[in-house]
Amino acid sequence: MASSLQQLYSEVILEHSRDPHGFGLNDHLDTTSHQVNPMCGDEVTLGVRLRAGKDNVEVVDIAWEGKGCSISMAATSVLVEELIGEPISTARSAHERFKELMHARGAELDADTVEELGDLAAFSGVAKYPARIKCALLGWMALHDALERAHSGLETHEA
């Protein structure tokens, strides 16, 4: 069973690295963040566009460009797929959950956690390899930075 799950996870990572979601920056982004993994040279520039609604702030768009290993490219692609159209609070929570996953050292995930994480669960095996954790987190760090910048920009405009 574990090997079929690992194979599925590998397929998810390969699919996202071959055909990444949100690849290509555009002019409609509120802000961007450029992050580099000095250990391997992977780079990601990720931008977000937010919309302030009556009750929350929504992630309207995420776009990115980068170069690097399949893990960093796939993890960034998955975050785009998971977070466009979600409230900023959901994006922040997903960032925290993904960091927790990366620091779990490859611990087995129960079925509920796998369902909750969706395609992000595919990266659970990456946590077994400390050198690869930074690869998986690269796009997420850019997302966190871009969200903070864009959200503070919204607050400045509202004041």
- Tokens 């920009």 map to which residue? 153
pLDDT at position 2 over 70: no
More confidently predicted of 19 and 126: 19
CA 120 to chain centroid, in Å, comes to: 9
More confidently predicted of 8 and 58: 58
The mean per-residue pLDDT over the stretch 54-70 comes to 94
Between the two ends of the chain, the Cα-to-Cα distance in Å is: 55
pLDDT digits (tens, 9 = 90+) for 68-102: 999 999 999 999 999 999 999 999 999 999 999 89
- Tokens 């460009």 map to which residue? 65
pLDDT at 114: 78
Instruction: Name the architecture of domain 2-158.
Output: Alpha-Beta Complex (3.90)
Cβ 65 vs Cβ 76: under 8 Å: no
pLDDT at position 34 over 70: yes
The mean per-residue pLDDT over the stretch 121-126 comes to 86
Structure tokens at 149: 């910048």
* C-alpha to C-alpha distance for 137 and 71, rounded to whole angstroms: 9
CA angle, 69 as apex, 74 and 145 as ends, to 5°?
A: 65
pLDDT at 109: 78
Give the pLDDT band of residue 8 (cuts 50, 70, 90).
low
pLDDT at 156: 53
Of 20-24, 66-70, 106-110, the least confident: 106-110
Instruction: Give residue limits of the domains in the chain.
Output: 2-158
pLDDT at position 4 over 70: no
